[in-house]
Amino acid sequence: MKAQIGLIGLAVMGQNLALNIARKGYTVSVYNRTASKTREFFESRVKGEPIIPTYDLKDFVESLEKPRKIVLMVKAGSAVDDTIEALLPHLDPGDLIVDGGNSHYLDTERRFKYLSERGILFLGMGVSGGEYGALHGPSLMPGGSRKAYELVEEILMKIAAKTEDGPCCTYIGERSAGHFVKMVHNGIEYAIMQAIAEVYDLMRKVMGMGSFEMADVFEEWNKGELNSFLVEITAKILRKVDEETGKPIVDLILDKAEQKGTGKWTAQAALDLGVPTSSLNLAVVERVISHFKGEREKLSQLLKKERKVVRDDHLLEKLKGALIFSTFLSFSQGVWLMNVASREFGYGLNVSEVLRVWKGGCIIRSKMIDFLREIVTDSGDHLLCDRSTRFLKEYLDDVKEVLKVAQENLVPVPVLSASFNYFLSMTEEKLPANLIQAQRDFFGAHTFERIDKEGAFHLDWWEGVV
Ligand code: NBP
């Protein structure tokens, strides 16, 4: 019997995705470059599921029914190209390769063209939800041709997470649309994680709260407007105790945040496309700063920060408001980026559908998405409309208070303040860019526009200067 689908790459994601597919009743052939991993997977995890192990790429391809459908869950980057090259001699026109890794969207663009020229169908599919999601139901963001999508639609719908609004999978759009959207998902994820971390930092440094007390607060917040996977896991993290020392584990973790690049790619794409994703960008910058642990330790000796610890429950409410404010703006900046990219790259995105797919299975699933979906079709690209501005205004005093407390106590809050400044700039009729234009014209003859007449103007700025 031939397998209905094949999967290459049996690390964390591949193993769990293969099991998920098999448990939905599909026969899956699997292959991994290092054969011992395939054997280990079979010995430790496969318990009668319809999974066929293969140890040679040709055997793997031959074990699949035609047109072949092959999901790659290998490391993003050259491993994807190597695997495609190794597969190509064994494939026939009309076969499909799905790259389920976190590939850069421009790599996906290139691979799409390369494979199309060889008659091979290709989908670049964002997969969110980590190992748990891969096994129990991820959020899936497949992009490429609709014809390619239709070949695997039934399987993807079955394995995806489910919400009251349907399976967390949809055809995202043309060519690299799936990986672009997954990249923006991760950019939003970076910003919300950093905003939560800043709130946590204020709770411990300014309010003197202990880990379990903070866990109680995040748990409570998770019941309301802030209901989300990231707030939920923050509460669980804060409650976890280190078995060896009996201390909260979070207090023992080194404060250096790693990254695999998707947040940076989001910021780069946003700058290239001219979209102001301030909160997302600052989250990436702060992870970079966290890496300079040695420098930070030394410099902290030069600036002694006096902090007045005040137990003030009133401040907790303000922190909650600031987090809601920043969460909304992290999403709305990501939506703006997707809207612009969709036009620029001809993706044909339906952003409401993208948001629906993010309602379950993925890391940024949250109650806020329902509100975003209510406004997404009637507001502009950036989602700042009548309704959302009224919503944000409700939390403005909270953010002001939180930033004041952070400044008084010299606690860095880059994403909370970036969100606040973004909102202020976006709602400011007059920005000081007139002065910047004058400076540019002064030193570089770049010209400027005037508010009282049409045209491009240039002045000899030295003339008449005394
Ligand atoms: P990794 O990203 O750690 O990749 C390991 C897999 O890639 C192994 O199967 C390895 O085979 C294979 N591989 C490598 Br490395 N180089 C190869 C090559 N030149 N040719 C063939 N295979 C090669 O695995 P992962 O963490 O399961 O992630 C898989 C993909 O899913 C990545 O793109 C990742 O970014 C994405 N993703 C991960 C998560 C997560 O939570 N981990 C979430 C969402 C998306 P080997 O065994 O022979 O070395």
Is the CB of 281 inside a 6 Å radius of any atom of ligand 1?
no
Please choose, from the candidates 190, 210, 191, the residue with its C-alpha nearest in 3D space to the C-alpha of residue 200: 210
Contact 289 CB / ligand 1 (< 6 Å): no
Quick one: which of 229, 178, 230 has its CA closest to 200? 230
Domain 430-466 has CATH 1.20.5.320: yes
| 130 pocket-lining for ligand 1 (C-beta < 6 Å) | yes
Calculate mean pLDDT across residues 194-201. 98
Percentage above 70 pLDDT, the chain = 100
Q: How far away, in angstroms, is 132 Cα from ligand 1 center?
A: 16
Site to substitute for ligand 1 among 70, 75, 229, most atoms within 8 A of C-beta: 75
- Average pLDDT rounded to a whole number, residues 26-47: 97
Q: With bands split at pLDDT 50, 70 and 90, how would you rate the model's confidence at 130?
A: very high
Give the pLDDT band (50/70/90) at residue 311.
Answer: confident
Between the CA of residue 434 and those of 56, 84, 229, 250, 450, what are the distances in Å?
A: 65, 52, 43, 47, 9
Per residue, the 3-state secondary structure of 286-322, as one string, reads: HHHHHCCHHHHHHHHCCCCCCCCCCCCHHHHHHHHHH
- Check if the beta carbon of residue 114 is closer than 8 Å to that of residue 97: no
8-state DSSP, 431:
-
Q: Do the beta carbons of residue 171 and residue 357 sit within 8 Å?
A: no
Contact 97, 84 (CB under 8 A): yes
Say what the pLDDT of residue 239 is: 98
- 260-276, pLDDT tens digit by residue? 999 999 999 999 999 99
- Tell whether ligand 1 has an atom less than 6 A from the beta carbon of residue 34: yes
Q: How many CB atoms lie within 10 A of CB 44?
A: 9
Whether 189 is a known active-site residue: answer yes
Q: Whose CA is nearest to atom 9 of ligand 1?
A: 9
pTM confidence score: 0.97
Which DSSP helix (H) or strand (E) runs through 16?
A: helix 12-23
DSSP SS3 for 353: helix
Pocket flag, ligand 1, residue 285 (CB < 6 Å): no
Calculate how far, in angstroms, residue 316's C-alpha sits from the geometric centre of ligand 1: 41
Which ligand 1 atom is at minimum distance from the Cα of 37? 47
Q: Which two tokens stand for residue 47?
A: 């318990």
Q: What is the pLDDT of residue 378?
A: 82
Kindly report, residue by residue over 240-249, the tens digit of the pLDDT: 999 999 999 9
Smallest CA-to-CA distance from 102 within 82, 127, 81 is with 127
Q: pLDDT band at residue 380, thresholds of 50, 70 and 90?
A: confident
Whether residue 348 has its Cβ less than 6 Å from ligand 1: no
Q: Does residue 85 have its Cβ closer than 6 Å to ligand 1?
A: no
Residue 36 in tokens: 């011992």
Whether residue 312 has pLDDT greater than 90? no
**12, 74, 362: which to mutate for ligand 1, most atoms within 8 A of CB?**
74
Closest ligand 1 atom, residue 101 Cα: 33
**Model confidence at 466: pLDDT above 80:** no
Annotated domain spans of the chain: 5-175, 182-425, 430-466
Classify the C-alpha dihedral 247-250-251-254 as positive or negative: positive
223-261 confidence digits (pLDDT tens): 999 999 999 999 999 999 999 999 999 999 999 999 999
d(CA 364, CA 280) in angstroms, rounded, equals: 13
Instruction: Judge residue 205's burial from the number of C-beta atoms within 10 Å of its C-beta, 0-12 exposed, 13-18 middle, 19 or more buried.
Output: middle
Superfamily of domain 5-175: NAD(P)-binding Rossmann-like Domain (3.40.50.720)
Instruction: From the candidates 69, 182, 320, 359, give the one annotated as an active-site residue.
Output: 182
Segment 281-298 mean pLDDT: 98
Mean pLDDT value across residues 160-186: 98
Alpha-carbon separation of residue 419 from 27, 33, 199, 311 (angstroms): 47, 44, 14, 26
Which residue from 412, 425, 438 is spatially nearest to 197, judged by alpha carbons? 412
Supply the DSSP string of 226-276, one letter for each residue. T-BHHHHHHHHHHH-B-TTT-SBGGGGS-S-----SHHHHHHHHHHHHT--
The protein residue whose alpha carbon is closest to atom 39 in ligand 1 is 130
Q: Could you give the percent of the chain with pLDDT greater than 90?
A: 97
Q: What is the pLDDT of residue 81?
A: 98
User: How does the average pLDDT of the chain come out, rounded?
Assistant: 97
- Tell me which residue has its CA closest to atom 17 in ligand 1: 79
Position 462 scores a pLDDT of 92
Write down the catalytic residue from 189, 198, 225, 286.
Answer: 189
CATH topology of domain 182-425: N-(1-d-carboxylethyl)-l-norvaline Dehydrogenase; domain 2 (1.10.1040)
Contacts of 62 (CB under 8 A, 6+ apart): 90
Ligand 1 neighbour 57 (Cβ under 6 A): no
- The answer to whether the bond into 67 is cis (omega within 30° of 0) is yes
Ligand 1 contact via 37 beta carbon (within 6 Å): yes
Ligand 1 centroid to Cα of residue 137, in Å, is 19
Q: What DSSP string describes 388-418?
A: HHHHHHHHHHHHHHHHHHHHHTT---HHHHH
Average pLDDT over residues 327-352: 98
Tell whether ligand 1 has an atom less than 6 A from the beta carbon of residue 82.
Answer: yes
User: What is the distance between the alpha carbons of residues 390 and 371, in angstroms, rounded to a whole number?
Assistant: 13
**DSSP character at residue 142:** E
Residue 142 alpha carbon to ligand 1 centre in Å: 18
Asked if residue 222 has pLDDT above 80, the reply is yes
Choosing from 10, 13, 97, 128 the residue with most ligand 1 atoms within 8 A of its CB, the one to mutate for a pocket test is: 13
**Model confidence pLDDT, tens digit, residues 87-129:** 999 999 999 999 999 999 999 999 999 999 999 999 999 999 9
How far apart are alpha carbons 267 and 299 in whole angstroms? 28
Distance of CA 71 to the CA centre of its chain: 21
Q: What is the pLDDT of residue 183?
A: 98
Beta carbons within 10 angstroms of residue 438's beta carbon: 13
Query: Closest ligand 1 atom, CA of 8?
Result: 9
* Ligand 1 contacts CB of residue 295 (under 6 A): no
Q: Is the pLDDT of residue 308 over 90?
A: no
The protein residue whose alpha carbon is closest to atom 7 in ligand 1 is 74
Asked if residue 361 has its Cβ within 6 Å of ligand 1, the reply is no
Neighbours of 63 (CB within 10 A): 20
Give the separation between CA 190 and CA 418, rounded to whole angstroms: 13
pLDDT digits (tens, 9 = 90+) for 79-92: 999 999 999 999 99
Q: Tell how far the Cα of 134 is from the centroid of ligand 1, in angstroms.
A: 13
